[in-house]
Amino acid sequence: MVKYILKRLALLIFTLFLVITATFFLMQIMPGTPFNNPKLTPQMIAQLNKAYGLDLPLWQQYLHYLVNAFRGDFGTSFQYQNQSVSMLIGQRLPISAQLGAQALVVGVIAGLLMGAASARNKNNKIDGLLGVVSTLGISVPSFILGIIFLYLFGFKWPLFPVSGWGDSFSQSVLPTLALAVTPAAVVTRFVRSEMIEALSSDYVQLARAKGLSEKEVVNKHAYRNSMIPVLTLIGPMAAGLLTGSTLIENIFSIPGIGQQFVSSIPTKDFPVIMGTTIVYALMLMVMILITDILTAIVDPRVRLQ
């Protein structure tokens, strides 16, 4: 187990190194410069380049960036004066993390409940309705849901505030719901099929033959076993949440890293773009790693290599 985790960590660090290298060189061949204000004289541009270390040879810039990146220092933002990228990201990360975590919790719980309800009522009206809901849930992208929620519950029936973050909990309701729908739908479909399989398995037959009540059979035997595989979904779902939250933050004016990322694209604020990319990749990799380890702990049948 320890060996497995160490191996995975080594792969993670290697991948991170590749991601940093790739983003660095991609940024180098990017067209355009951040200092394109026509008022700047050539001397001033040279001075700015020097101040940001852009006059050094490429390999020195790269090594410098690489070493600093592993220390968690992604340089200084071009856009905001004297603001380090790590500080910018550090301020915004908790907001995005909270939004993502809220959405994941709401989505997974809703999915577990709906999936179980669907499997228990297999092939009747409730199952059909939940099937329609979950199919819609996976086919409507979260940013469109965000816009629809914003219109319905923000403007048409103003139940919740339409923008901002941190002043009150109600501000987070709409973005959380918009993000939670996709995970909920994915989990619903997954739990349903897992549980239908479990309900026809031998150990459930045995539990029935023992004379347990249907409630006990379902809750104690079938349901518990169908919940484990849901863990494996959390990694991929986290990736979806990252994408979704970027746009959702934009729609609801939430000051998270997604919004930061989007706003630094037109201004060509390379250090911020690179920093955000690396943080995103790291977050996703850590989520996948945690998912895999948890799955291995919970389900001993999963063979570790």
Partner 1 sequence: MAANTEDFVIVGAQNSEANEHISKPALSFWQDAWRRLKLNKLAVISLWFLVFILGFALVSNFFVTQNKANAFDSDNVGKYKNLPPNSGLPIPGWDGKLKEPGATDTTDPYKNNNVKQNFILGTDNIGRSLGKRVIVGLRISLLVAISATFIDLLIGVTYGVFSGWKGGWVDVVMQRIIEILSSVPNLIVVTMFGLLLGNGVTSIIIAIAITGWLSMARQVRNMTLSLKERDYVLAAKSLGESSTKIAIKHLIPNMAGTIIVQIMMTVPSAIMFEAVLSAINLGVKPPTASLGSLISDAQSMLQFYPYQVLIPSGVLVLISLAFILLGDGLRDAFDPRASED
Is 246 a residue that touches partner 1 (CB under 8 A)?
Answer: yes
CB-count burial class (<10 Å; 0-12, 13-18, 19+) for 103 = buried
Name which position in 116, 217, 234, 288 contacts partner 1 (CB under 8 A). Answer: 288
Residues 73-102 that bind partner 1 (CB under 8 A): none
Q: Is 76 helix (H, G, I), strand (E, B) or coil?
A: strand
Using the structure block, give the residue that is written with the tokens 């001075």: 47
Is residue 56 within the footprint of partner 1 (CB under 8 A)? no
Would you count residue 11 as binding partner 1 (CB under 8 A)? Answer: yes
Instruction: Give how far Cα 205 sits from Cα of 195, 202, 209, 211, 242, Å.
Output: 13, 5, 6, 10, 41
84 phi/psi in degrees, rounded to 5: -75, 150
Q: Which of 85, 99, 196, 231 binds partner 1 (CB under 8 A)?
A: 196
Decide if 43 contacts 33 (C-beta within 8 A): no
| CA neighbor of 272 nearest in space, from 57, 90, 112 | 90
Using CB under 8 A as the binding rule, the residues of this chain from 128 to 157 that contact partner 1 are 135-136, 138-141, 143-144, 147-148, 150-151, 155
Write down the least CB distance from residue 73 to partner 1, Å. 20
Distance CA 83, CA 64 (A): 19
Residues near partner 1 (CB under 8 A): 11-12, 14-15, 18-19, 23, 26, 29-31, 122-123, 135-136, 138-141, 143-144, 147-148, 150-151, 155, 193, 196-197, 200, 239, 242-243, 246-247, 250-251, 261-262, 265-266, 273, 277, 280-281, 284-285, 288
